[in-house]
Amino acid sequence: MPTTRLDLDRIHAARRVIDPMFLNTPMYRCDALGRRLGCAVSVKVETANPVRSFKARGTELVASLLASAGRTAVVCASAGNLGQALAWSGQRRGLHVTVVASRQAPAAKLDRIRALGAELELVDGDFDMARERAVDISRERGIRLLEDSLDIETCEGAATIGLELVDKEVPFDTVLIALGGGAMATGMGYVLKTLAPQVEVICVQPSGAPAMTRSWHSRRVITTESTDTIADGVAGRRPIPEVLDDLLAVADDAVLVRESSIMAGMRLLLEQTGLVVEPSAALGVAAVLEDRDRFAGRHVVSVICGSNVDLDSYRQWVHQ
């Protein structure tokens, strides 16, 4: 059993707090997609819910804890999906939710954060600039700052996906996990390495936002000056040391993929499964496309982690 900040009992307990709407999401084998990729492929679909991503698993925990403690407000920085999820979970529990996001984030994500009743503050610059501003707001107002991947609830929420994978009777060889801040990879990775250690845990990041992958390979935090990828959901520059430590304990590999592969992955997912996905959710398929030999004949599970896209951009990407 790997030693990380996570704990299996707490992850089991998390399932009792998260709205069932976000649990037991569809998972099934897509033979048509598998034929195109030369391996067996199952998808775990995290997009059929009101916030269209897996992030509510974590925000349900956070919002529930805050409401129980009598707290009334919370702030987070978000690339777009965490903010929607926190807005959804917070609104249902009477919390005032403030989300700080980059002005460059997809308009669809920003619109939905507002529509869900959150206060949205936009910053010039990227996600890591939004993180700095969220810290300031937290201090100014004396309210809880939710930090994605650092705060254990975000990892525990994602870890419940891992429980659902190992509950399946159908065995699989490899799970492909989009790597951004690391909540999903460390959360799911911990559960898999604890309950199904034979499963290979591979993290996938865009070449245009490689900080965490480089850090994993170097076993120390490596930051980058900028990011350049359509996969906005995973475009961070500054890995969090505690999260990297956890990732080192649970990931078997971390790979980088090209933008063209991400687009090809989105197109394949649309054509072969009928799913509209955001770029981050196509990273797993992109990884197989770039290294078919590695996955040939294996059974891989890819987590379809989000579907919040600007449709105009999406059409350009999939029709290329």
Region of 17-25, 147-155, 172-180, 289-297 interacting with a second copy (CB under 8 A): 17-25
243 in contact with a second copy (CB under 8 A): no
Token output for 134: 């969220």
Please report how close the Cβ of residue 27 comes to a second copy at its closest, in angstroms. Answer: 8
Q: For residues 46 and 126, which CB has a smaller minimum distance to a second copy in the complex?
A: 46
Please report how close the Cβ of residue 315 comes to a second copy at its closest, in angstroms. Answer: 8
Q: Tell which one of 1, 13, 24, 125 touches a second copy (CB under 8 A).
A: 24
Q: For residues 250 and 285, which CB has a smaller minimum distance to a second copy in the complex?
A: 285
- Give the x/- contact pattern for a second copy in 52-91, rule: CB under 8 A: x---------------------------------------
What count of Cα atoms within 13 Å lies in the side-chain half-sphere of residue 226?
A: 3
DSSP codes of every residue in 210-265 = -HHHHHHHHTS----S----S-GGG--SS--HHHHHHHHHH-SEEEEE-HHHHHHH
Please report how close the Cβ of residue 43 comes to a second copy at its closest, in angstroms. Answer: 8
Token output for 150: 């650092």
Contacting residues for 167 by C-beta, under 8 A, at least 6 apart = none
DSSP type of residue 305:
-
10 Å CB burial of residue 245 (0-12, 13-18, 19+) is middle
10 Å CB burial of residue 218 (0-12, 13-18, 19+) is exposed
How large is the angle between the packed helices 311-319 and 259-273, nearest 10 degrees? Answer: 100
107 in contact with a second copy (CB under 8 A): no
Tell which positions 252-311 bind a second copy, by CB under 8 A.
Answer: 270-271, 273-276, 307-309, 311
Q: How many residues does the chain have?
A: 320
Tell which positions 151-210 bind a second copy, by CB under 8 A.
Answer: none
Region of 8-16, 41-49, 187-195, 212-220 interacting with a second copy (CB under 8 A): 41-49
Please report how close the Cβ of residue 266 comes to a second copy at its closest, in angstroms. Answer: 12
The residue count for binding a second copy (CB under 8 A) is: 30
Residues that bind a second copy (CB under 8 A): 21, 24-32, 35, 45, 47-50, 52, 112, 115-116, 270-271, 273-276, 307-309, 311
